[in-house]
């Protein structure tokens, strides 16, 4: 009775006749999960204390040292305990520090990361592709990325029971650390860091617009400069970033999701209400040069690809959920994802279609729908609508900053915990997050033109969304050769890799051909 649970579960158990005893491989989970509801609520875990031994007067059957709850009736509990492999480092890192998430939290995080400022420039992609091809490519991209999202949800828990709580962790376990460093580390970190930097730029500009609307015209108050608005937003992001882990920002993600749905709806409703502007045209904007025409189309595809980001956060979001043999995390995770992407479709499709219908070729390349609202309707729309839209953009940017910054915080703290084998002290965690946020601020000030490079960013990060999940499925699940799944994933994976290279080249060519105002350290 004095032996530990691990020792007792290693002893063979003789099943009753007709009872099948099966064993499942271990799952990696932090120590806090040992007391999760999936284990601690079972009355079978509370064994009664042993009674005082009595001196037998007659010979009896030898007494078993197996605890009373290790019985054939308790085999599910025994299997759950046996399959648990404690990983203390997971309990020290922000993403896996708490595993009390649910389908609602998953929907909040997925919606906050899957919809946002990247959708504002979708109408600009349609100015190059036109009505028919624009909607076709938008629909194909939506279905494709939803399929790869399903793949990532299924791969979170492997056949041997291990939970892969990070994109890089799954990629490294599948293809090795060398290929991870070559092909996955840069896109994952670039997407997180680049998104946070872009959010500072967008939110700073939106804050400036909000102040102008509130102050009125003419405004007697001295306005802040663009850099100062960047700094105000960064300071607010630093304060909110002190929330300890992914589960603790579930409310922040909910606020971000609501604000994203709010300003997307306002933008397309105002566009439809105010009607088409005078002189609108829907003829695709294409150059007479064949090479320029091809690269312009590829750049438009990159903008569409960038609109469906967030796959680098799927495993991290699912890692916040408890998981057991009977209740795997993929079930509530997929339920939350389906709900979130219904709302994503309800926002992005009207935004792209109504925006292109209202503005046509006149849609601004920088800022997209938000810039169009102030450029064409600053006199028509009410100050309340203009101010509310700007404010919702700022709020959504602040909330999205937290979920996209979390992998960066987790990666940096992982360096400390791996070396010193203990959790980061609170003062070091505060310092790391402040340092990271202000690094993003410096990049935003140095490179304020990043928001105009959506096509290039979409090409660089496209493999994370459309290609790598297919290759991961082939390597992990090993579908039967020449089967439907084998052909499907090989085809989509190769096509995604080719598209990534072409779209990246198209983004670079478009930047060089059209020119970008390289205003280093001079945001306007």
Predicted local distance difference test score (pLDDT) of residue 350: 94
Question: Buried b / exposed e across 431-461, counting CB within 10 Å, b at 16+?
Answer: ebbbebbeebbebbbebbbbbbbbbbbbbbb
The chain-wide mean pLDDT, for the chain, equals 81
Using the structure block, give the residue that is written with the tokens 């009390």. 100
Rounded Cα gap, residues 237 and 137, in angstroms: 35
- CA dihedral for 39, 44, 48, 53, sign (positive or negative): negative
**Does 192 fall in a domain?**
yes
- Select the more confidently predicted residue: 58 or 168: 168
Predicted local distance difference test score (pLDDT) of residue 38: 35
**Does 46 fall in a domain?**
no
**Does 23 fall in a domain?**
no
Confidence of residue 451 (pLDDT cuts 50, 70, 90): low
Contact 365, 147 (CB under 8 A): no
Q: Write down how long the chain is.
A: 524
Predicted local distance difference test score (pLDDT) of residue 140: 94
Confidence of residue 134 (pLDDT cuts 50, 70, 90): very high
Q: Give, in order, the Cα–Cα distances in Å from 123 to each of 62, 310, 348, 365, 510.
A: 79, 20, 10, 9, 17
Q: How many angstroms from the chain centroid is the CA of residue 322?
A: 18
Which residue, among 295, 304, 454, has the nearest Cα to 365 in the 3D structure? 454
3-class DSSP state of 448 = coil
**Does 72 fall in a domain?**
no
Look up the domain containing 472 and give its range: 84-514
Would you say residue 491 has pLDDT above 90?
yes
Would you say residue 142 has pLDDT above 70?
yes
Span 176-205, average pLDDT: 89
Contact 241, 437 (CB under 8 A): yes
Give the DSSP per-residue string, 227-246.
HHHHHHHHHHHHHHTTS-ST
**Does 76 fall in a domain?**
no
Specify whether the backbone of 475 is left (phi greater than 0), alpha (psi in -120 to 50) or beta: alpha
Rounded Cα gap, residues 281 and 358, in angstroms: 10
**Does 28 fall in a domain?**
no
Q: What is the CATH number of the domain that holds 475?
A: 1.10.4160.10
**Does 1 fall in a domain?**
no
3-class DSSP state of 84 = strand
Reading the block at residue 31, the tokens are: 């120590």
Rounded Cα gap, residues 78 and 5, in angstroms: 9
Reading the block at residue 495, the tokens are: 């096509």
Q: How many domains does the chain have?
A: 1
Which residue, among 118, 229, 197, 250, has the nearest Cα to 436 in the 3D structure? 197
């Amino acid at each position: 009775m004095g032996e530990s649970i691990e020792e007792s579960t290693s002893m063979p158990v003789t099943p009753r006749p007709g009872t099948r005893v099966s064993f499942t491989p271990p799952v990696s989970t932090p120590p806090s999960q040992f007391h999760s509801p999936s284990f601690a609520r079972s009355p079978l875990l509370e064994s009664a204390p042993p009674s005082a031994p009595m001196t037998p007067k007659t010979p009896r059957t030898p007494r078993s040292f197996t605890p009373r709850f290790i019985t054939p009736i308790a085999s599910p509990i025994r299997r759950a305990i046996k399959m648990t492999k404690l990983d203390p480092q997971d309990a020290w890192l922000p993403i896996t520090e708490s595993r009390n998430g649910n389908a609602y939290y998953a929907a909040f995080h997925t919606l906050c990361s899957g919809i946002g400022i990247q959708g504002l420039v979708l109408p600009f992609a349609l100015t190059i592709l036109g009505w028919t091809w624009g909607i076709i490519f938008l629909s194909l991209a939506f279905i494709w990325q939803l399929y790869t999202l399903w793949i990532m949800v299924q791969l979170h828990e492997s056949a041997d029971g291990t939970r892969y709580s990070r994109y890089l962790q799954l990629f490294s376990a599948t293809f090795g650390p060398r290929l991870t460093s070559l092909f996955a580390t840069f896109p994952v970190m670039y997407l997180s860091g680049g998104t946070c930097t872009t959010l500072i730029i967008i939110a700073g500009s939106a804050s400036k617009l909000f102040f102008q609307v509130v102050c009125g015209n003419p405004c007697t108050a001295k306005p802040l400069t663009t850099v100062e608005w960047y700094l105000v937003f960064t300071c607010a992001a630093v304060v909110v970033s002190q929330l300890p882990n992914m589960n603790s920002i579930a409310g922040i993600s909910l606020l971000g999701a609501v604000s994203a749905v709010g300003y997307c709806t306002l933008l397309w409703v105002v566009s439809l209400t105010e009607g088409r502007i005078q002189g609108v045209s829907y003829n695709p904007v294409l150059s007479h040069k064949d090479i320029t025409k091809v690269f312009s189309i590829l750049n438009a595809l990159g903008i569409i690809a960038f609109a469906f980001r967030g796959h680098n956060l799927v495993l991290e979001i699912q890692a916040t959920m408890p998981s057991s043999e009977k209740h795997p995390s993929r079930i509530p995770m997929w339920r939350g994802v389906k709900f979130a992407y219904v709302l994503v479709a309800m926002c992005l499709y009207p935004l792209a279609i109504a925006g292109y219908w209202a503005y046509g070729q006149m849609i601004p390349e920088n800022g997209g729908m938000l810039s169009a609202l102030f450029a064409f309707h600053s006199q028509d729309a009410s100050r309340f609508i203009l101010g509310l839209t700007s404010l919702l953009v700022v709020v959504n940017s602040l909330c999205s900053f937290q979920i996209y910054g979390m992998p960066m915080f987790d990666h940096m703290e992982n360096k400390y915990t791996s070396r010193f084998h203990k959790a980061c002290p609170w003062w070091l965690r505060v310092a790391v997050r402040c340092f990271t946020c202000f690094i993003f601020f410096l990049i935003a000030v140095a490179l304020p033109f990043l928001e105009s490079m959506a096509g290039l960013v979409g090409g660089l990060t496209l493999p994370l969304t459309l290609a790598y999940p297919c290759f991961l499925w082939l390597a992990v699940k090993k579908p039967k050769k020449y089967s439907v799944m084998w052909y499907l994933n090989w085809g989509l994976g190769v096509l995604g890799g080719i598209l990534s290279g072409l779209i990246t080249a198209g983004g670079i060519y478009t930047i060089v051909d059209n020119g970008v105002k390289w205003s280093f350290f001079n945001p306007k």
